[in-house]
Structure 1
Amino acid sequence: MGTTIAADCLHQFVEETDWYNGIVLDALVPGGSWKRLPRPLQSWLRNYIGGTALYLVSGFLWCFHIYYLKRNVYIPKDSIPSNKAMLLQIIVAMKAMPWYCMLPTLSEYMVENGWTRCFSSVGEVGWPAYIVYQTIYLLIVEFGIYWMHRELHDIKPLYKYLHATHHIYNKQNTLSPFAGLAFHPLDGILQAVPHVIALFLVPSHFRTHVLLLFCEAVWTANIHDCIHGKIWPVMGAGYHTIHHTTYRHNYGHYTVWMDQIFGTLRDPEEEFKKAD
Structure 2
Amino acid sequence: MGGGPPYLELFVEETSFYNRIVLGTIFPNFSLYPFPHILQTWLRNCVGGFLIYFFSGFLWCFYIYYWKRNVYVPKDSIPSNKSMLLQILVTIKAMPLYCVLPTFAEYVVEHDWTKCYPRVLDVGWPAYAFHIITYLTFIEFCIYWMHRGLHDIKPLYKYLHAKHHIYNKKTTLSPFAGLAFHPMDGILQAIPHLFALFLIPTHFRTHIVLLFFEVVWTANIHDGIHSRMWPVMGAGYHTIHHTRYRYNYGHYSIWMDWMFGTLLDPMDIEAKGL
Deviations 1:213-255 (A, max 9, x none): 1100000000000001101110000000000011000000000
* C-alpha distance in structure 1 between counterparts of 2:108 and 2:222, whole Å: 32
Contact 1:25/1:34 (<8 A) preserved: no
- TM-score, length-scaled by structure 2: 0.98
Q: What are the equivalent positions in structure 2 for 1:1-276 lying under 5 Å apart? A: 7-33=5-31, 36-275=34-273
Distance 2:33 2:252 in 1: 37
Give the AA of the match of 2:121.
G
Report deviation, 1:7. 1.7
Alpha-carbon distance, 1:32 to partner:
3.4
* Cα offset, 1:94, TM superposition: 0.6
The CA deviation at 1:6 is 5.7
CA displacement at 1:274 relative to structure 2: 1.3
Whole-angstrom distance in 2 between the partners of 1:15 and 1:113: 13
Letter in 2 for 1:164: A
Structure 1 residues without counterparts, runs of 5 or longer: none
Q: Distance in 1 between matches of 2:176 and 2:75?
A: 18
Distance 2:245 2:30 in 1: 48
CA deviations over 1:132-167 (Å, ceiling 9, x no partner): 011000011000100000000000000000000000
**SS of residue in 1 equivalent to 2:150:** helix
Q: CA deviation at 1:62?
A: 0.5
Q: 1:34: how far off?
A: 6.1
Q: Percent identity?
A: 66
- 1:52 touches 1:97 (CA, 8 Å); kept in 2? yes
Taking structure 1 as the reference length, the TM-score comes to 0.97
Deviation at 1:23, TM superposition (A): 1.0
Unaligned runs of 5+ in 2: none
Offset of residue 33 of structure 1: 3.0
Query: Match for 1:195: what amino acid?
Result: H
Residue identity matched to 1:62:
W
Q: Give 4+ residue runs of structure 1 displaced > 4 Å after superposition.
A: none
